[in-house]
Structure 1
Amino acid sequence: MTVLDLTPRPVPPPPGVRDAVRDTLALVGRSLRRSTRQLDTLLLAVLLPVVLLLMFVYVFGGAISTGMAYVDFVVPAIVLLTAGYGAATTAVDVASDMTNGIVDRFRSMPVPAGAVLTGHVVASLARNAVSTALVVAVALLVGFDPAASAGDWAAALGVLVVYVLALTWVAVAIGLVASGPEAASGFTFVILFLPYLSSAFVPVGTMPGVLATVAGLNPVTPTADALRALLLGAPVGSSAAVAVAWWVALLVVARVVAGLLFRRRR
Structure 2
Amino acid sequence: MSSDRFGIEAGVDRQEEDAEDTRARLRWGPFAKIYKENDTSAFKKRKVVRADGTIDWVVIRPKFRELLSDLAAGVIDGVILYNPDRLVRQPGDLEDLIDIVEYVKRPVIGAAGGRINLINDSDRHMARMMCVMALKSSEDTARRVARMHLATAQDGKIQGRIAYGWIRKGHDKRKTLPAEAAVVTALFDDFLSGESAYSLARKLNDSKVMPPAAAQWSATMVRKILRNPCYAGMVSYGGRHRVDATLAWDG
- Shorter-normalised TM range: under 0.3
Q: TM-score, normalised by structure 1?
A: 0.25
Higher relative contact order (CA 8 A, sep 6+): 1
For the pair shown, which has the larger CA radius of gyration, 1 or 2?
Answer: 2
Q: Which has the higher helix share?
A: 1
Q: TM-score, normalised by structure 2?
A: 0.26
